[in-house]
Amino acid sequence: MPTRARERLMQAAEDLFYAEGIQSVGVERLLAVSGVGRASFYRHFASKDSLVIAVLQHRDEHWRAWLESTVTAHGGGPLAVFDALAEGADNPGFRGCAFINAVAETASPRSDVHRLATEHKSRVTDFLDHLIEEAGHPRHQELAEQFALLMDGAIVTAMREQTGEPARRARKIAEILLA
Give the model confidence (pLDDT) of 16-32 as tens digits.
999 999 999 999 999 99
The lowest-confidence range among 63-67, 103-107, 123-127 is 103-107
Asked if residue 2 has pLDDT above 50, the reply is no
CA distance 164 to 142: 25
Q: Which residues contact 109 (CB under 8 A, 6 or more apart)?
A: none
Residue positions counted in the chain: 179
Contact 70, 88 (CB under 8 A): yes
Tens of pLDDT, residues 132-144: 999 999 999 999 9
Lowest mean pLDDT across 1-5, 149-153, 155-159: 1-5
Question: Lowest mean pLDDT: which of 1-5, 32-36, 49-53, 151-155?
Answer: 1-5
Q: What are phi and psi of 75, to 5 degrees?
A: 110, -15
pTM of the model as a whole: 0.92
Residue 1's pLDDT band, with cuts at 50, 70 and 90, is very low
Count Cβ atoms within 10 A of the Cβ of residue 71 and give its class: 0-12 exposed, 13-18 middle, 19 or more buried.
buried
**H or E, element range at 158:** helix 140-161
In the predicted structure, residue 70 carries a pLDDT above the cut 80: yes
Give residue 3's pLDDT band: very low, low, confident or very high (50, 70, 90): low
Contact predicate 86/165, CB 8 Å: yes
Mean pLDDT score of the chain, rounded to an integer? Answer: 95
Query: Which amino acid, one-letter code, is at 175?
Result: E
Burial of 123 (C-beta count, 10 Å sphere; 0-12/13-18/19+): middle
Q: What is the pLDDT of residues 97-111, one digit of tens each?
A: 999 999 999 878 899
Q: Is 106 helix (H, G, I), strand (E, B) or coil?
A: coil
Determine the 3-state secondary structure of 104 from DSSP.
helix
